[in-house]
Chains A and B, each alone.
Chain A
Amino acid sequence: MCDIEEATNQLLDVNLHENQSSVQVTESDLRSESELLVTIGATGPTGFEQTAADEVREKLGSSCKISRDRGKIYFVISVESLAQVHCLRSVDNLFVVVQEFQDYQFKQIKEEVLKDFEDLAGKLPWSNPLKVWKINASFKKKKAKRKKINQNLSKEKINNGQEVKINQRNVKKEFTSHALDSHILDYYENPAIKEEVSTLVGDDLASSKDETDEISKEETEPQVLKFRVTCNRAGEKHCFTSNEAARDFGGAVQDYFKWKADMTNFDVEVLLNIHDNEVIVGIALTEESLHRRNITHFGPTTLRSTLAYGMLRLCDPLPYDIIVDPMCGTGAIPIEGATEWTDCFHIAGDNNPLAVNRAANNIASLLTKSQIKEGKPSWGLPIDAVQWDICNLPLRTGSVDIIVTDLPFGKRMGSKKRNWNLYPACLREMSRVCTPTTGRAVLLTQDTKCFTKALSGMRHVWRKVDTVWVNVGGLRAAVYVLIRTPQAFVHPSEQDGEKGTLW
């Protein structure tokens, strides 16, 4: 751990310039291949960088640098920990950093800038990152193809052999799946920033992404590697497009390595990320996600699992906590909860029978998978599904420790007008079931105006302690973290001296 922290500190202090030759701090620390230290970049939901950094510190022992490129964090690990990196739940994509330029000096003339990129290709310290890539590729060798899954799934082909955790994570993603959000939109939210994303190979112009299923890398060691270059560019002062950068940089990479260019069936994906004056060259360790939006989804508004994980972390679950999602939809949040916080009990509820059924199916699949994978004599997950009305929960007063949910935005589900009545009613019922003083709620919504108004009338029971701004499906949304005040819930009818009960 000591070495890693040292390396991280050195990395954080180093200011790299384009003309400097290999400055990978890690190379000077290299003693043997097994002790190779590498810098990993990870992308996740914007707004949850700190949460991701916390998870990295907790699970890998590394501290992180949070990048100006929003939604990205960087950390140093020993290459032996690579498999564990794929177990991180708060990040969607991983890459190994080849080189980072914090203050890249772009020339003013397009041809010159592009020439610089071409020259750059041959000067980068590729060898260690490629070693990492190779190790990583061996994890994926037997990965099953991702298929479109129908509602009643659990027909996944589960691979045998070196079932490294990557596969588990990928299959889990298929269960909890992703919203229709464009991952790329999460990088750059400000429309004022000119943004482009292009993936080019050789002389081809960027074409629309291959939206079909992910390609599994089942080939044994190929003779010649196939590659592509993906360029993300954001900034107002660039005189070139990401198309052009990817094309020319890609061309030089091809010349340097004698790799074959292939857009869809590539082995190596080189990333060229440009944000104003910051340039980072990396090699992807997971499949870049433009095609993620067509990955199977169960419902019209399924939350992506990394966001669900981030929200759950914000709740700070403690052992034995009862965690309820009263509007669970397809159950993304409770399912994420049941996999990561196994000493808590998770309840998924929704009024819509379709949603509850999907949630129950997802749970069933999770159960099946955990049985197969772990081969334990006992099974059973701390999670269950119920059909209920959020405004009349069949739960005792003060019995729930944590409420975490994705409130209807009023765009794809429900309506804005309905929210004006729904939000206050939800907050009220949630305050009833939630334990005073220690209880908390983490609520996601895009209808922040309505939520703020509803919350303002509930200050005696809910205290807001944090707001995290995120991007969900291209919409700006907020995650509100609330603490339940010590005030006990008083039923309106009790106030009048009557006592009624619905249950």
Chain B
Amino acid sequence: MIPKVEWAAFLEVADNLRLLQVPKGPVEGYEENKEFLRTTHHLLLEVEVMEGTLQGPESGHMFPISHGIPNMLLSEEETES
């Protein structure tokens, strides 16, 4: 999944979560780099936010995460344009 990862967003999230040892981007020859692959796999698939909040980048709206599930339903006032 490496080619599909948005590294800027990934790094920002990792920073918010205060994760350590986060690769700054796909390194040269990453397909063979076991260390890189293991770390990235871990961060992408094994780290899970169980409780928290997501904030919309443009609107600033807050979306809660509970038991690992984010609730992205918009409230009535949010959907009114």
Contacts and interface: CB of A to CB of B under 8 A. Distances in A.
B46 A392 contact: no
Nearest to B38: A378
Given A320-B1, A382-B1, A501 B71 contact: no
A474 B63 CA distance: 40
Contacts of A360: 67-69
Interface residues of A, number: 28
Contacts, number: 65
Question: Main SS of chain B's interface residues?
Answer: mixed
Interface in B47-81: 56-59, 61, 63, 67-74, 78-79, 81
A493 B81 contact: yes
A188 B57 CA distance: 54
Contacts of B42: 378, 380
A69 to B, nearest CB: 41
Most buried by B among A381, A385, A386, A392: A386
Given A357-B69, A387-B69, A503 B1 contact: no
Contact of A320 (B4, B68, B69): B4
Nearest to B63: A394
A214 to B, nearest CB: 32
A389 B58 contact: no
A351 interface: yes
B45 interface: yes
Closest 10 CB pairs of A and B: A380-B45, A380-B46, A388-B72, A503-B56, A394-B72, A387-B71, A501-B58, A320-B4, A386-B70, A389-B73
Interface of A: 320, 322, 343-345, 349, 351, 353, 356-357, 360, 378-382, 385-389, 392, 394, 493, 500-503
Interface of B: 1-4, 38, 41-42, 44-46, 56-59, 61, 63, 67-74, 78-79, 81
29 contacts: A320-B2, A322-B4, A344-B1, A351-B73, A356-B69, A360-B68, A378-B38, A378-B41, A378-B42, A379-B46, A380-B41, A380-B44, A380-B45, A381-B45, A385-B68, A385-B69, A386-B70, A386-B72, A387-B69, A387-B72, A387-B73, A388-B73, A389-B73, A493-B81, A502-B61, A503-B56, A503-B57, A503-B58, A503-B59
